[in-house]
Amino acid sequence: MATRPAPGSLCRRRGPRAGPRRTGQRRPGRHGTVLRAVEEGRLLPDRLRRTGARRQGRAGLVAAAKGPAPASRGLTRGAGAPAGYRFGRTVLRDPEIAAAIDLGSNSFHLLIARVEDGQLKVVDRLRESVRLGGGLDETNYLTSAAMERGLETLARFGQRLREFPPGSVRAVGTNTLRKARNSRRFLDRARDALGHEIDIVSGYEEARLIYLGVAHSLADDGQQRLVVDIGGGSTELITGEGFAPRLMESLHMGCVSLMEAHFQGGGISSRRMQRAVLAARMELEPIESRFREEAWQRAVGASGTVRAIQRVVQEAGWSDYGITASSLKQLRKALVEAGHVDKIRFSSLSRDRAEIFPGGVAVLVGVFEALGIERMEAADGAMREGLLYDLLGRIQHEDVRALTVEALARRYHADTEHAGRVGETALGFLEQARNHWRLGEPIFGRALAWAASLHEIGLDISHSQYHKHGAYVLRNADMAGFSKQEQLLLASLVRTHRRKFPRTVFEELPDAWTEPAQRLAILLRLSVRLHRGRGRDPLPSIVLKPDGRSVALHFPDDWLADHPLAEADLEEEAGYLRSAGYRLICR
């Protein structure tokens, strides 16, 4: 006879029944498959591990869900959604058109391109000077005026993108929104104005996207490249060959920031220019030797600033191709002689560009001097193009984020087989909970799979509080392909996958993610509990039924009686969830 649960227990066992007891009789399949189990929002099909899986030998696999799969009846190890299932309408297949928006410190850019045979053909470009970086006050808060300029521009962009389906648009904020202490407030309004999600990317990710855009705009000549992008508030430097970046840095200087610091009021003098160049050199000093040692053969500029400088030196006859070191010296001298931005006279230079031109020239002079550049050519591609190619890669199941997670799992020696089992169970729970708990957005499935793959990376640092160590790594690591919000989501899931369940961890997330993230964390916590023994035997069929702030787990008859440690773990988990305002019931 089954023993009676302790008074007040939330794990309610059924009584004995006639006939053989149901247990998990499915043959153990391959493990370590979860990292790539979600491919642009799809779960593993029920029998993928026996039919369509492609073993990677790393922290997951990339495999399309092939062929029909039976609908999930509860959860078995490896169970998931039917083949081709998607979490929401935001996953595209073969879109006809896509758009990228760059919310820069100086200008906002919109690039629209048609997708043909896996390639992008630009059909429209829009640029509006917003000077968002100039709207940061001395305490790094965006002023109301700067916010309104940005929102008005995004509203106009939104009109152009009104018919674009979700998932065909990628919008990112860069240095100013990284620095602004009230960026979350701005982003909440900005999403409404644009009609699409907006991410904030790290300087490292910005550099990667810039290189990706430049690489697609240049012929692959087999040469090592140095790519320089001068933005309003940051400057990115990247070396690489072909489509592969090698060394990436993002520096806290740009045409707007140097303009405000050294050319106040628009005045230009030899002393001011010298101080601005010196400031650039000081920012470059820590990375000079590393970039010189890269032995790059070709210098490429990727920004509007570099393109403007190239047009000016060629218009003046100082260079017949690209920007030379001597032509840059002549331009510097001409600006000092002009004395003020209002007196800069070049037909190829627009008035709004002229207002920040001396700052951009000072940055480029510093780069030329620090790295010993003799000639630089301007490229057509930049971060906007990189965003589109990155988006295209995600749609075509070449998501760099999955590779980043694999690399982190290897670096921190994660037990990929155990992580795979945890992830498969968590994804099966997600399939059962997604409608009631509104977890249909593609990012939620991907984040849950990635968090399962990485939930134990903190063990490589220390077993004590390892969930906190893992969360710290995910918050602060340079993670290619991830926005800052996505990193915070991943970190919050790893932070809360065990022990106490502090809901304050989720407060940094966008408002629309706060409650879904808590629910994802619960699914991960339950999966971790059920796999605590780290055994290879499959779990039985488990039915999960969420209802508001309650979740019920239905086990086969007597399974809990036969697994007292699992029952004790779930009892303990019920207590943790209760303290966070959730109720766990086990039957």
pLDDT digits (tens, 9 = 90+) for 177-231: 999 999 999 999 999 999 999 999 999 999 999 999 999 989 888 899 999 999 9
- Tell me the residue type at 496: T
The amino acid at 113:
A
Please state the rounded mean pLDDT for residues 32-53: 36
d(CA 40, CA 399): 8
**Does residue 385 surpass a pLDDT of 90?**
yes
Share of the chain above pLDDT 70, in %: 83
Residues 287-317 as b or e (16 or more Cβ within 10 Å = b): eeeebeebebeebbbbbbbbbbbbbbbbeee
Position 39 confidence tier, pLDDT thresholds 50, 70, 90: very low
Domains 97-203+387-392 and 219-378 alike in fold: yes
The confidence band for 5, taking pLDDT boundaries of 50, 70 and 90, is very low
**Region 97-203+387-392: CATH code:** 3.30.420.40
Residue 10's pLDDT band (cuts 50, 70, 90): low
pLDDT at 75 over 70: no
Task: Supply the pLDDT for residue 399.
Answer: 87
- Cα–Cα distance, 563 to 171 (Å, whole number): 49
CA 26 – CA 513 distance, rounded (Å): 36
pLDDT higher than 50, residue 335:
yes
CB 416 within 8 A of CB 375: no
pLDDT at 86: 31
Q: What are the contacts of 281-288 at 24+ separation with CB within 8 A? A: 281/366, 281/369, 281/370, 283/235, 283/251, 283/252, 283/253, 283/366, 284/251, 284/366, 284/367, 284/370, 284/371, 285/370, 287/237, 287/249, 287/251, 288/370, 288/371
- pLDDT value of position 398: 78
Tell me the per-residue pLDDT of 388-435, one tens digit each, with 9 for 90 and over: 999 888 877 778 999 999 999 999 999 999 999 999 999 999 999 999
pLDDT at position 95, please? 59
Q: What is 219-378's CATH topology?
A: Nucleotidyltransferase; domain 5 (3.30.420)
Alpha carbons 526 and 429: distance in angstroms, whole number: 9
Mean pLDDT of 359-386: 96
Distances (CA, A) of 324 to 148, 180, 218, 300: 40, 36, 20, 12
| pLDDT tens by residue, 269-306 | 999 999 999 999 999 999 999 999 998 999 999 999 99
Each domain of the chain, given as residue ranges in start order, spans 97-203+387-392, 219-378
Distance of alpha carbon 487 from alpha carbon 230, whole angstroms:
25
Q: Give per-residue pLDDT as tens, 511-557.
A: 999 999 999 999 999 999 999 999 999 999 999 999 999 999 999 99
Does residue 380 surpass a pLDDT of 70? yes
Provide the CA 306 distance to its chain's centre, in angstroms: 27
- pTM (predicted TM-score): 0.79
Contact 374/324 with Cβ under 8 angstroms? yes
Percentage of residues of the chain with pLDDT beyond 90: 77
Residue 58 has a pLDDT of 29
- Structure confidence at residue 2 as a pLDDT band (50, 70, 90): very low
Q: What is the model's pLDDT at position 12?
A: 57
Return the pLDDT at 47.
27
Average pLDDT, the chain: 85
Residue 567 has pLDDT above 90, yes or no: yes
**pLDDT given for residue 41 in this prediction:** 39
Q: Among the listed ranges 165-169, 186-190, 212-216, 504-508, which one has the minimum average pLDDT value? A: 165-169
